[in-house]
Amino acid sequence: MAGRTFVVLAVVVVAAGVIVTVLDVNQYYYFAAYVVLQYVVLASAWNILGGYTGYVNFGTPAFFALGAYTAVVLIQSMNAPLVVQLVAGAAVAGTLGLGIGYLTLRLRGVFFSIATLALAVVLQTLFINWEYTGGARGITLTRPATVPLGGSYVEYLFVVMLVLAVITVATAWWIEHSWVGRGLAAIRDNEEAAECMGVPTLRLKLVATTVSGLLMGLAGAPFPYYVTFIEPASVFDLNYAVNSLAMPMIGGSTTWMGPVIGAVLLGTAQQVATVTISSALNLLIVGVILVAFVILAPEGIVGLVQRLVRRGPA
Amino acid sequence: MNAAAERGSGDACLDIREVSKRFGGFQALNAVSLRIRPGERFGLIGPNGSGKTTLINCISGTLRTDGGRIVFEGADITGLAAHRRTRLGIARSFQIPKPFTSMTVLENLMIPIEYARLGHRDGVVDEAMGILARVGLAAKAQVPSRALTQIEMRKLELARAMAARPKLLVSDEAMAGLSSAEVDDILAILLQLNGQGITVIMIEHIMRAVMRFSERIAVLDAGEKIAEGTPDQILGNKTVERAYLGE
């Protein structure tokens, strides 16, 4: 897909989102769509490090929660507007990504993954013991009285998350189609060969951890106003780690489209299951679908379609 | 003598000075010194485990030396990261081919063109196609690199190294396991590159190829240089014979 087509598509998506808020439908749909879009951001962000670069990150909850807690601190201390929360949440989570990159990127394969898992645990412990942001009990937040766009605040948050999703997917698209993406793919395929071909492997991996962490923090920043109640157990939920990994795997982890498809399908399925059956069923659904894909279509939906198309005409 | 050697290092393409490398209690390289002249065809041989690949890894920068210095075109590169050395003009091929498996053959070449020579963004595809034509892989440009045969992978290794526009090419056993005709194929490519002024270090077990190719040869055994000279001198060397065949 050419750059111009992509930009047009992005604008159309955002415009459609704004138009949708005019419709007079049940508020729950915006509420549910927000979660799906949040997963588009998380899955696409995860994929920059996990799919493009080949470093599997189990620490999504750490970056997501850091974005959310940064927003909490800003609301508590100065009642900062949402835009400030977004920028700060992204910056703090991006800094964490850079730091974690420095500390752990000499570890390869499963050792890197274990380190990221530990990161989430450490950070959760930290916030459980920090009273200012509510500690283990959690903290209740009040949304601003005025809604910038008109309509309800949930509709507003839905549009915000839609814009964040478009920004994230655009970032992933750019990386994939640039020399940066080719360098990351070389690292994924063979790190030693990449380094010997002139690829600055350490620096590029730091770019990947930073951008990936930053975007995850961006997804977390509007969360306090979305749920209006933040507690460590829910923002550090393992669901975020599992979903942001499973969605790209199911959709296809080598293209920007994969995480989007995976997040929309799996995210929607989870929302439907939450309403119709039970919320506890979510992880089971993810687990079963993931196992099925790993066995039957290891390259995800995108890979499966590509394979069928290639076979088709011949 | 020492002062003369110091001064003379300016003329060397690659000057390896008493390089040592240990892995735990195992001394893989023990104060190995080599001077390779610009444009030279240099052969590096030795029994299995003698330290040839370790030395190559120290030259290309994937391993850090424990002692000694490596000087490339008069500049000390001992502490430099591998990708910086590639940008300075040292390229290598791997003994076991390491293609970028998710990419096509053509895309494999784009990596060194884009990264080893910074700022090089235009005409990348044309140049890559030119290199593929020279090694006889032009027809395979759009094929996924993992689908290549063994000889094609060896050629891709060399093509990728060529795409980095090296001044020094280190070929690590590019011919192992190939048929005699295929060995000639690879040899022709290396000779052609050398003809363009690229210095070549060839590590090889196939004696027929090394002897034919090299102007000078060094022999490693148990991490030490035991001989150095022209192919004829090496063939007549009793120490080398002992290292290969035993007492």
Beta bridge mates, B22: B27
Tokens of B137: 């892989």
Which residue of chain A is at minimal alpha-carbon distance from B59?
A: A196
**What confidence score (pLDDT) does residue B119 get?**
67
pTM of the model: 0.89
**What confidence score (pLDDT) does residue B3 get?**
41
Mean pLDDT of A194-207: 94
**What confidence score (pLDDT) does residue A97 get?**
95
**pLDDT > 80? residue A191:** yes
Q: Give me the torsion for CA of A3, A163, A274, A120, rounded to 10°.
A: 90
**What confidence score (pLDDT) does residue B224 get?**
92
Place of tokens 């007079």: A24
**What confidence score (pLDDT) does residue A313 get?**
54
Residues of chain B with pLDDT under 70: 1-10, 119-121, 247
Which residue of chain A is at minimal alpha-carbon distance from B157?
A: A193
**Comparison of pLDDT for B70 and A279, the residue scoring more:** B70
**Comparison of pLDDT for A109 and B203, the residue scoring more:** B203
**What confidence score (pLDDT) does residue A295 get?**
87
* Percent of all residues in chain A with a pLDDT value above 90, rounded to a whole number: 62
Q: From the candidates A176, A196, A201, A205, which should be mutated to test the interface with B, based on the most B CB atoms within 10 A?
A: A196
Mean pLDDT of A102-114: 82
**pLDDT > 80? residue A311:** no
Q: Do B111 and A183 touch (CB under 8 A)?
A: yes
Which residue of chain A is at minimal alpha-carbon distance from B90?
A: A196
Mean pLDDT of A162-185: 94
**Comparison of pLDDT for A313 and B205, the residue scoring more:** B205
**What confidence score (pLDDT) does residue B247 get?**
66
Q: Do A185 and B100 touch (CB under 8 A)?
A: yes
pLDDT band at A290 (very low <50, low <70, confident <90, very high): confident
**What confidence score (pLDDT) does residue B4 get?**
40
CA distance A116 to A46: 12
Q: From the candidates A197, A202, A205, A302, which should be mutated to test the interface with B, based on the most B CB atoms within 10 A?
A: A197
Q: Do B111 and A192 touch (CB under 8 A)?
A: no
**pLDDT > 60? residue A265:** yes
Asked whether A72 and A230 are in contact (CB, 8 A), the reply is yes
CA distance B98 to B113: 17
**What confidence score (pLDDT) does residue B132 get?**
94
CA distance A186 to A181: 9
> In the predicted model, what is the mean pLDDT of chain A?
90
Nearest to B60 among A185, A189, A196 (CB): A196
**What confidence score (pLDDT) does residue B10 get?**
55
Q: Do A183 and B115 touch (CB under 8 A)?
A: yes
- Residues of chain A with Cβ-Cβ distance to B94 below 8 Å are 192-193, 196
**pLDDT > 50? residue A314:** no
**What confidence score (pLDDT) does residue A303 get?**
87
Region for residue B21 given its phi and psi (left: phi exceeds 0; alpha: psi -120 to 50; beta: otherwise): beta
Per residue, what are the HEC states of chain A? CCHHHHHHHHHHHHHHHHHHHHCCCCHHHHHHHHHHHHHHHHHHHHHHHHHHCCCCCCCHHHHHHHHHHHHHHHHHHHCCCHHHHHHHHHHHHHHHHHHHHHHHCCCCCHHHHHHHHHHHHHHHHHHHCCHHHCCCCCEECCCCCCCCCCCCHHHHHHHHHHHHHHHHHHHHHHHHHCHHHHHHHHHHHCHHHHHHCCCCHHHHHHHHHHHHHHHHHHHHCCHHHHHCEECHHHHCCHHHHHHHHHHHHHHCCCCCHHHHHHHHHHHHHHHHHHHHCCHHHHHHHHHHHHHHHHHHCCCHHHHHHHHHHHHCCC
Mean pLDDT of A199-221: 96
**What confidence score (pLDDT) does residue B66 get?**
92
**What confidence score (pLDDT) does residue A16 get?**
86
For the ranges A23-27, A67-71, A206-210, B129-133, which has the lowest average pLDDT?
A23-27
